Amino acid sequence: MAEILAYVHKDGFFHRLHPFTKIAFILLFGLMSILTTNLVFLIAMVLVVLVIFWCANLGKEVLEQFKLIAIMSIVLIGITILTMPSGETIGHIIPSAIPVIGGFVPITTGAIEFGLVLTFRFMILICVFQLFVISTQPRDIVQTMERLRIPIDYTLMFLIALRFIPTLQIEGKRIHEAQVARGYNPGAGFMGKLRSVAPIVIPLVSNALARATVLGLTIDIRGYRTGIKTRMREFAFKRRDYMTVCAIVLTGCGYGILLIQQVL
Amino acid sequence: MIELEQISYTYPHTAQKALDHLSFSISRGKCVLVTGPSGAGKTTLCLASAGILHHEYGGKKEGTVTLDGKEVSTFGSLSEVARTLGIVFDDAEAQMIFTTVEEEILSALEYRGLDAAVVEKRLSTIMEKTHLTELRNRSPHHLSGGQKQRVALAATLALGNDILILDEPTSELDERATSRIVEILRSLKNEGRTILLVEHKFEHFRDMVDILVVMENGRITAMGKPEEVLSDERIRKIVVADFSGIRSGTEDKAAENSPGKNPDTVPIISVKDLVFSYDKVQALDTISLTIAAGEFVAIVGENGSGKTTLVKHFNGLLMPKSGTVTIAGKDTRVSSTTELSRQVGLVFQNPDHMFFADTVYDEVAFGLKNLGITDMDVIIRAALEEVNLGHTSALYPRWLSRGERQRLAIACVIAMQPRIIVLDEPTTGLDGNEARLVMEVLKRLQQKGHTIVIITHNQEIAGNCADRILRMDGGRIISDTPVRDA
């Protein structure tokens, strides 16, 4: 089973970059995608991100996210259509051909466009974050966050949150199987998903809480929180990092100029 | 090294004492094995000995714990206690914080204030000692239970402390993985480390245990050299499971009562040329098998040999890649899982994966509601009586002890009255008495005409309870032997 947001042990160019460089990259792409409302520019950014994934030898990993992204985009566009009608009306969700109730909830170009902007924005944010997480060993994330003087407790919290996503995913599947074996059939579709909540979520959360206790004790007893740290096997800032950072800074400047001149 | 004096402890929000005026001590270089029924307070004893009760938990405490000559309450924090001892818990998964084996051990080493060169050297020594060198780049999700447990042990060894406390490190492991842990612990003991071990598998550790402790209801009921402790018949039954006579005592009746009077002629499960693979890994390799109605079959084999994958085909959780699985004359591919769950009840290894209701009674009712059975009360009470849990029907399932939870899981399935009952490792984490109780329940069910299939690592169980033993290896059935009493 594919695991969400777990570190993937591979040798790609993104793996070899210094975590700082990667964080700079996330910040740049994150900021650019949030500040931009230009649809064409966002699509171009998505393509760039996909090319980076492909170059980093992580093409397969990004494709696995697309189901989630597709669902998200439908929901987002649906919400904008319902809540932010603007521009031309190109149709209605309830077709006007139906008498009495027909002709309501207009589908407008403005809403669709804004929905797409949101979709691509989230897509970029999700993908760059994923790129960072799956290409960086948690140990290096811890080291980098220590260098940035973020307290160790916060770093560990972040780390555990990431670390347990795949565990919960696997556990959820086991619980589902155990309930299905008891003749449990929640049915398909939205209502089915809704009905399935209690028998799956309650064991999942109860087990996670028990597990959290053990995990907390383990962290304490291994002395992660107070020990004096030996600095070893740390990433060195290499030529490729300088080059990447240069590229990031240049892109950032170029983007800034375009933004000020209101091209975007 | 560890000294407990008159320790009593009551968890917050409970009335009953988890530990009740308990005293014992372990001297340097000795190995103490603690065993007893589930819910006797063994884990609490581990927490007390590690000083965790005095630092992390609320609740009511009495008495003193001394570690290496220093009273635990005088330590500043748990991290300070961590300089004297290491503790390994039974849930290996929860103790893996990082994403590769090497990273896990290295991270524990880095916080010791050592020189980088020393750290590298220790890292390779520890990995060698725990046989993890080849797995160094694997992620925890791709490790077996035994491997995970070795990583947790390795990360604890990285602390370099002389006292080791282990809480059921082998509970979910097969024979081979267990003997690896035993071997590692034996060499650690020979290095002079002090080991406090909570275990149900006393037999595996017999030659390295100096003192055997038996706990019941928060008290120590026997303590001393293993031979002396085991000379008491009642105590011996707790420590060493005895399954003798489970089959032979009931065989005659079984033959009379079972609906398939001549079992060999009525196949209820029939598997033909079954092939199954996860992604690219082949898990089952052309398996053919028939199980007759009323048979008691044990499937044995190492972890990863395909046992669980095989039984998941019986109730349609998995579908064959090729070949067919026929249950009571019907191909699983054309039946829904709900339909199949009327025929096949599957009890998984970890009962905690299924409990969600507020009471034991409602938990059993869940399966019946799914089958659309309305007149449930009689059935539920009968199912609970069958597993000796009638008195618990109003309790919250997760408050039960491990042994009781295991029996509740069985009750949930038998209430649905499937003709076939499949159990994956039904005796995990149970003491001798509890394990025997579970096997007796299963034997009674067989007499009532159910077909029983169990997966087990335990040769004793397979040999004493089943009519037939299937051994699996590498996705194939390598032997199929009937068992007869001499």
Q: pLDDT (tens digit, 9 = 90+) per residue, B139-184?
A: 877 788 888 889 999 999 888 888 999 998 888 788 888 998 999 9
For chain B, percent of residues with pLDDT exceeding 90: 37
B contacts of A211 (beta carbons < 8 Å):
91, 93-94
Smallest Cβ–Cβ distance between B356 and the set A180, A199, A231 belongs to: A199
As to burial, measured by CB atoms within 10 angstroms (0-12 exposed, 13-18 middle, 19+ buried), residue B262 is exposed
Output the six-digit token pair for B83. Answer: 């300089």
Q: What domains can be seen in chain B, in order of their start residue?
A: 2-239 (3.40.50.300), 248-482 (3.40.50.300)
Per-residue pLDDT, B196: 95
The torsion angles phi and psi of B277, rounded to 5 degrees, stand at -140, 145
Q: Length of chain A, please?
A: 264
Distance from C-alpha of B269 to C-alpha of B254, rounded to nearest angstrom: 19
B424: nearest Cα among B340, B300, B338, B324: B300
Which run of H or E residues covers position B184? helix B175-190
A138: nearest CA partner in chain B: B98
Distance from C-alpha of A155 to C-alpha of B86, rounded to nearest angstrom: 23
Round to the nearest angstrom and report the end-to-end CA distance of chain A. Answer: 41
Which run of H or E residues covers position B296? strand B296-300
Distance from C-alpha of B292 to C-alpha of B484, rounded to nearest angstrom: 17
Smallest Cβ–Cβ distance between B356 and the set A139, A160, A202 belongs to: A202
Distance from C-alpha of B266 to C-alpha of B293, rounded to nearest angstrom: 6
Q: Which residues, including other chains, have CB under 8 Å from residue B24's CB and lie 6 or more apart?
A: B4, B32, B213, B220, B223
Report, in angstroms and rounded to the nearest whole number, the Rg of chain A calculated over CA atoms: 23
Distance from C-alpha of B161 to C-alpha of B2, rounded to nearest angstrom: 13
> Is the complex ipTM more than 0.85?
no
DSSP E strands, chain A: 89-92, 106-108
Task: Give A88 to chain B, closest Cα distance, Å.
Answer: 48
Distance from C-alpha of B205 to C-alpha of B208, rounded to nearest angstrom: 6
pLDDT tens track of chain A, all 264 residues? Answer: 456 777 887 888 888 888 889 999 999 999 999 988 888 999 999 999 999 888 888 888 888 778 888 888 889 888 888 888 888 888 877 777 777 777 777 888 888 888 899 999 999 998 998 888 888 888 888 888 888 888 888 888 888 888 788 888 888 888 988 888 888 877 666 776 677 788 888 899 988 888 888 888 888 888 777 766 777 777 778 888 888 889 888 988 988 888 888 766
Note whether B213 and B34 are within 8 A (CB): yes
pTM: 0.81
Residues 330-359 of B with CB under 8 A from A: 336-338, 341-342, 345-348, 350, 352-356
Q: Exposure pattern of A81-98 as b/e (b: 16+ CB <10 Å)?
A: beeeeeeeeeeeeeeeee
Q: Which of helix, strand or coil describes residue A225?
A: coil
To test the contact with chain A by mutation, choose from B56, B101, B111, B151 the residue with the greatest count of A C-beta atoms within 10 A, namely B111
Tell whether the model's pLDDT for residue B19 goes beyond 50: yes
Distance from C-alpha of B466 to C-alpha of B443, rounded to nearest angstrom: 9
Per-residue pLDDT, B174: 83
The torsion angles phi and psi of B86, rounded to 5 degrees, stand at -125, 145
List pLDDT tens digits, range A145-171.
888 888 888 888 888 888 788 888 888
Decide if A230 and B114 are in contact by the 8 Å CB cutoff: yes
Boundaries of every domain in chain A: 12-136+235-264, 137-233
A contacts of B115 (beta carbons < 8 Å):
230
Decide if B155 and A219 are in contact by the 8 Å CB cutoff: no
Q: What HEC string does A147-163 produce?
A: HCCCCHHHHHHHHHHHH
**In this structure, is the dihedral angle defined by the CA atoms of residues A73, A78, A83 and A89, taken in order, positive or negative?**
positive
Q: In which band, very low, low, confident or very high, does the pLDDT at B265 lie, cut at 50, 70 and 90? A: low
Report, in angstroms and rounded to the nearest whole number, the Rg of chain B calculated over CA atoms: 24
Output the six-digit token pair for A132. Answer: 């960072």
